[in-house]
Amino acid sequence: MTQVMKLSRRALSVCLVAVFAVGGAPVVDTPTAVVAADAPWVLPTSPPRCTTEQMNSGNVGACVITLGPGLPETRGWPQPPFPEPENPTVIPWVDLGIGASGPIVAKVQSALVAWGADIAADGQFGPVTQMAVKSYQTANGLASTGIVDQAMATLLGVQNTTGGTFPPSGWTWLGWGYNSSPALAAFEAQLVGNQQQIGAMRPGSLRSFPGSLPLFENFYAEIQARGYVIGDGGSYVFRCTASTRKDCAGLTRAALSNHAYGLASDINTAKNPMKTYYGVNGQTACQTPVVTDMPQWVIQTAEKWGLYWGGYGWSSGCQSPATVRTSVSRDPMHFEFNGTPEQARAILRYNLGAGACINLVDENAYMYQWCMLARETPGPGSRIAVDTNAPAGATAALVNIATTSAVSNGYITAEDCAARPLGVRQWSNGNVRAGRTASATAIVSLDAQGRFCLYQSSTFHSVVDVQGYFMPSAAAPAGNLYTPVSPVRALDTRTQPVCTPAGSCIPVGPVPADMKVGVTAVTSVSPVAALTNLTAIDPSQPGYVTADACDNLVPGPQTRSNLNFTIGETIRTNMAVVPVVVNSLGAQFCTYSPRQIQEIVDVVGYFNPPAQGGLGYTPVGPTRLVDTRGCWTDPVTGVQRCGVANGAGAIIRAQAPAGASAVVINITGVQPVSAGMLVPAACATMATGGAASPAVQASPGGSIANLAVVPVDANGMFCVQMTSSMHVVLDLVGTFSPTGDLRFVPVSPVRLLDSRPPA
């Protein structure tokens, strides 16, 4: 297997906005009443600085994450642009050494950081900067003097300038920040805002990077739940620090505030003013009470979420009232996050709980592991890599894909994991409805490592179970071929007794919850697996149906399923390939559901040993054969229709590839006017009223899809009939034919992926 690559800091900081959603408003524990500690904390004592181990573990409630050297981009956050003067005048270079300061020093420091130096671009030329200068000089063949002369400045690409137009074009100063300036459009597109009201905070009032916003959201939620009243608050403002010129004129990016990154937030500004405090009567300034309305528990809550409180002070500040300072600048309105994206992630996982770890693939085919939070759900644009653990030589797998926890309608597409642009996919393997759990069977092509990718168009969890593999005859000479049959109704609990595999029966259904049901179909071959349509009707509660060989299926909670249903759904169908055992009665398998349901099982084909004859599989496409939402031409009559929904009873004809005996198609019912079915069959069978099995049970409110294997006529035609008005989409994914080389190797269903949080 190809090794999963570690997620880079930049990818970590921006990944969440593209593909993940943390559902709903922040969740806090039952609020704890605080009485004795409600008085403002006017003589604060800072906890010790967090160790690297504490920050990486996420357990930071008893320490503080203080500001280290470098701007946030040196810690892995995206780098914003900076308003440099336009058309400045270049002036003669003045050598820089220990003690120099100002914007030109910051420019040199920034260039050294870009070269690889681990220093802060703070505009102060001290011993650390001198060491970096000497290292650069040595590495580039210059005399190691520690002085930045003209030769070194030229090599660094730094010029001494003055004047110029400010603010430059593309930057608009609003009096408090540059927010929404055209020059910031690309940077601001990486920020996200709170989607729901958080106490007094309106949606969108907190803005930060996706990886850090939940820290602020949960902090705001928790302190308000415990009784702290917020009158005003906010986070993102693109400006320089309050102790400099906020419009950044004459400064370098070293002066940018953490607010410019959305990594800081101010609360109740009038009640918590930024002030410089001085000592009184010869005492240290740290003993001068702070003007604040914040009790100690608010600050401790901030530290739990990794946020540093400005009330401890800047420029070393006050670690306690006993710290000796002649003056100290305190900013009690201010909270900021000074850690890395990985550390923010660790804090969230520690406080919110851990979810599943999945492998993601971006549009450039870069694969990395992403470990979710307990309430996190893969969202629009996710491409989840699924390792099928395929046997050597397998080129395709038959899988069941279930989707759940959807917040909106959407679809899921099984595709290769190669580089692909972001955006809409042209076909799907299943459709997703808000609030419902749905299943769809798919035959997916595998790469050399036995993998495929799932792309999803909206926010939901995915569960994937493998039911078998397709392998070339050379790799699996004993692999099975496909024998289609006229659909056989092997079970209908509405009209016949329900029996266990041992022969113990009850009257006509529904099937009681937790009953193992035996299903037997007469067959002329000796199959190892049956291709079936499973249908659940009138479920008592949300649940699932699992089908397997009877000896493999033990009643109780299952680790895999073939069909999922939701309360309120009258009927739900899905295709399954089920391992069988042949006995004197025929081919037998079993089904199980933890819920009371009516159940129908139609057998439409078998996979049997090659000595008994049959058809091999050939992957095709996927290729769109019909989409009645656009223009569709009937291949027999030549009549074209455009954008016209098919009426109840309408039959759609499509042409199969030459030589195909059966087609494997994904059938989607779109915009059904009322509940109805899509029934595929050979056109001759449909014309004579022969047996057919519904593949899709459609209902108003969205699209629904399912896989079907459909025999074709001698002229290569097959048909799909609908029982209610709707549009139909047919995507060809493969064929079965005498010349098809891939053979099927069934397995007892194995769970490959479950993005839901651990139970």
> pLDDT for 156-178, tens place per residue?
999 998 889 999 999 999 999 99
> pLDDT for 373-419, tens place per residue?
888 899 999 999 999 999 999 999 999 999 999 988 999 999 999 99
Q: Which structure tokens are listed for 564?
A: 């999922």
Q: Is the pLDDT of residue 269 over 80?
A: yes
How many other C-beta atoms can be found within 10 angstroms of the C-beta atom of residue 425? 16
CB 213 within 8 A of CB 206: yes
Give the model's pLDDT for residue 705. 87
> pLDDT for 360-372, tens place per residue?
999 999 999 888 8
In the predicted model, what is the mean pLDDT of residues 40-44? 96
CA angle, 9 as apex, 8 and 10 as ends, to 5°? 90
Give the model's pLDDT for residue 632. 86
Q: Assign 3-state DSSP to the chain and report helix, strand, coil percentages, each to 5.
A: 15, 35, 50
> pLDDT for 516-575, tens place per residue?
999 999 888 999 999 999 999 988 888 999 999 999 999 999 988 899 888 766 788 899
Q: Which structure tokens are listed for 359?
A: 């492998």
How many other C-beta atoms can be found within 10 angstroms of the C-beta atom of residue 19? 22
Whole-angstrom distance, CA of residue 469 vs CA of residue 577: 11
> pLDDT for 447-481, tens place per residue?
999 999 999 999 999 999 999 999 999 999 999 99
How many other C-beta atoms can be found within 10 angstroms of the C-beta atom of residue 430? 29
Q: Could you give the C-alpha distances from 148 to 104, 105, 252, 687, in angstroms and in order?
A: 11, 9, 18, 89
Say which amino acid occupies 282.
Answer: G
Residue 29 pLDDT grade (very low, low, confident, very high; cuts 50, 70, 90): low
Q: Which domains does the chain have, with CATH numbers?
A: 31-79+167-343 (3.30.1380), 89-162 (1.10.101.10), 353-472 (2.60.120), 481-608 (2.60.120), 617-737 (2.60.120)
Q: Which structure tokens are listed for 39?
A: 């008085």
In the predicted model, what is the mean pLDDT of residues 680-692? 89
In the predicted model, what is the mean pLDDT of residues 257-280? 96
One-letter-per-residue 3-state SS of 245-270: CCCCCCCCHHHECHHHHCCEEEECCC
How many other C-beta atoms can be found within 10 angstroms of the C-beta atom of residue 687? 12
One-letter-per-residue 3-state SS of 641-688: EECCCECCCCEEEEECCCCCCEEEEEEEEECCCCCEEEEEECHHHHHC
Of 751, 748, 399, 388, the C-alpha closest to 554 is: 748
> Where on the phi/psi map is residue 493: left (φ > 0), alpha (ψ -120 to 50), or beta?
alpha
In the predicted model, what is the mean pLDDT of residues 679-683? 94
> Where on the phi/psi map is residue 116: left (φ > 0), alpha (ψ -120 to 50), or beta?
left
In the predicted model, what is the mean pLDDT of residues 56-84? 91
Give the model's pLDDT for residue 36. 45
Residue 695 pLDDT grade (very low, low, confident, very high; cuts 50, 70, 90): confident
CA angle, 491 as apex, 489 and 494 as ends, to 5°? 110
In the predicted model, what is the mean pLDDT of residues 290-299? 97
Surface-to-core class of residue 505, CB atoms within 10 Å of its CB (0-12 exposed, 13-18 middle, 19+ buried)? exposed
Residue 27 pLDDT grade (very low, low, confident, very high; cuts 50, 70, 90): low
Which one is predicted more confidently, 17 or 547?
A: 547
- What's the first-to-final CA gap in the chain, in angstroms? 28
Q: Strands, DSSP E only, in 396-437? A: 396-404, 410-415, 430-432
> Where on the phi/psi map is residue 190: left (φ > 0), alpha (ψ -120 to 50), or beta?
alpha
